[in-house]
Amino acid sequence: MTDKKTDLIQGTLDLLILKTVAHEPIHGYGIAQRILLTSKDILQVQQGSLYPALHRLQRKGLLTSEWRESGSGPMAKYYSLTAAGRKSLQEEKAQWQRYAGAVALVLES
C-alpha cells in the first residue's frame, strides 16, 4: 500500500481535496482513499497533511462539515463544499490547467 506513492506537489493538495469533496459529502479517510483510487494508486495523501488541510479549508469557509453515521461503526465527520468552495474549485482548477499546460509546452518543445 505504500509502494508506488508519489509525493504531492506543494499546493495541489487543496485542489485535490476540493475536487474530491465536490462529488458528495465524504469523510477524511474516504478522501484519501478516493484520491488514491482515482489516481490509480499514484497519489498518496499523508494523514499528517490531510487533516490540517481540511481544517484550514474549513476555516477559510470553503468546506463545511457534519457528523453522520458512517457505514462501518463510529460517527464520522463528512465534509462538503460551500458555495465559496465551489467557486474556489473552479478558479484553482483553471489555474492548474493553465499551469500544467504551460509545463507540458516547455517539456515538449
How far is 13 from 80, CA to CA, in rounded Å?
Answer: 16
Choice between 29 and 99, CB closer to other proteins: 29
70 binds other proteins (CB under 8 A): yes
Between residues 55 and 87, which has the closer beta carbon with respect to other proteins? 55
Contact at 8 Å (CB) between 15 and 89? yes
Residue ranges binding other proteins (CB under 8 A): 1-2, 27-30, 46-48, 51-52, 54-56, 59, 67, 70, 72-77
